[in-house]
Amino acid sequence: MSETATAIEPRLAHFPVTFFAAVMGLAGLTLATDVVEQAWGLPALLSWLFLAATILAFGAISSVMIAKYRRYKAHFIAEWMHPVKKAFFPAISISLLLIATALAPAAPGLARLVWGSGAALQAVLMLAVVSGWIGHRPFQPMHISPAWFIPAVGNVVAPVAGVGLGFVELSWLFFSAGILFWVVLLTLVMNRLIFHDPLPGKLLPTLTILIAPPAVSFLAWIQLNGGQVDALARILVNLGYVFAAIVVVQSWKFRVIPFAMSWWALSFPTAALTIATFRYAALTGSGFHAILGGLLYLVLLMIMAALIARTLLAIRRNEICVPE
């Protein structure tokens, strides 16, 4: 075996499933840009470019993960069995659901196909992850992190496009499961954050995931209830702001943390809150929320630019895809 192959293979073996968090971030940026273009009367150019980048990233990362499974199956299974990394696998199905959401306005037929694939995979992964949590082995409080919300977030993403694509009853099913697991996991995560050791540095950026469930649940609920900003909708969007404020207060701790793929946790929740804010502004006519949405979008652009640049630099420096 050549030295080149020997050098490449270990990096493939340690290619992390957390790369799909980058796809979620790109998809969130796509959807947020589409909302901004509509709100500001701009042509739909950037959103289509971002969608193309999202699809390319999903295809490339999926190809590498398939290659990893084929050549380093033991490493793949070890990642699946890991108590923290396991929760990132539904990022694959969430990415498909988000891509379907972005495709829906222009290509509903293709969006239905992608949504159906994403929903089926989400159901399988959610059940597999939850089953893995229950009864197979004891988990310690240190194993729990906000990343455990990812399977629940996937469920509440489904109705955002599912209702408009005609999957109304399935959307209610996913929403019900997502809300239930969000409440249960929120209790567990807050218990871990308050009464046990602090999150390790690499996982600290995952605190931002706290923002995603209420923000996405607001968007899903608006679809399910016919676009009415009722009491539950107001509670959900405002919970997004509450968790955002908590993250901002804690963010000073992020400054000393080395870069890792977990930093991509900042992207999708920020995008989800941006979209929810613009949607709330459009439905209520709130000028304050329209301005807030614009500010959040600028923050999202800065976060995405920084994450993309830092990820490319980390790849160049061989700082990721290494044993942990």
- pLDDT value at position 152? 79
pTM of the shown model: 0.94
226 pLDDT more than 90: yes
- pLDDT value at position 30? 98
Residue 29 CA to residue 301 CA, distance in Å, equals: 8
Q: Which long-range contacts (CB under 8 A, 24 or more apart) does 32-40 make?
A: 32/271, 32/274, 32/275, 32/278, 32/297, 32/300, 33/297, 34/102, 34/105, 35/274, 35/275, 35/278, 35/279, 35/293, 36/278, 36/293, 36/294, 36/297, 39/278, 39/281, 39/282, 39/290, 39/293
pLDDT in tens, 251-297: 888 888 888 888 999 999 999 999 999 999 999 999 999 999 999 99
- pLDDT value at position 3? 41
Residue 290 CA to residue 214 CA, distance in Å, equals: 19
- pLDDT value at position 136? 62
- pLDDT value at position 1? 38
Q: Which long-range contacts (CB under 8 A, 24 or more apart) does 299-306 make?
A: 299/270, 299/274, 300/28, 300/29, 300/32, 300/267, 300/270, 300/271, 300/274, 301/29, 303/266, 303/267, 303/270, 304/25, 304/26, 304/29, 304/267
When pLDDT is averaged across residues 290-314 and rounded to a whole number, the result is 97
When pLDDT is averaged across residues 165-178 and rounded to a whole number, the result is 97
4 pLDDT more than 90: no
- pLDDT value at position 8? 47
**164 or 135: which carries more pLDDT confidence?**
164
Residue 50 CA to residue 53 CA, distance in Å, equals: 5
- pLDDT value at position 137? 65
User: What is the identity of the amino acid at 23?
Assistant: V
228 pLDDT more than 80: yes
- pLDDT value at position 5? 41
Q: How open is the CA angle 220-224-225, to the nearest 5 degrees? A: 120
17 pLDDT more than 80: yes
When pLDDT is averaged across residues 217-246 and rounded to a whole number, the result is 97
**Are 149 and 185 a contacting pair, CB within 8 Å?**
yes
- pLDDT value at position 9? 56
pLDDT in tens, 73-82: 999 999 998 8
The full DSSP string for 177-198 is HHHHHHHHHHHHHHHHHHHSPP
**215 or 151: which carries more pLDDT confidence?**
215
Segment (H or E) for 73: helix 73-81
Share of the chain above pLDDT 90, in %: 76
pLDDT in tens, 87-139: 899 999 999 999 999 999 999 999 999 999 999 999 999 999 888 888 666 67
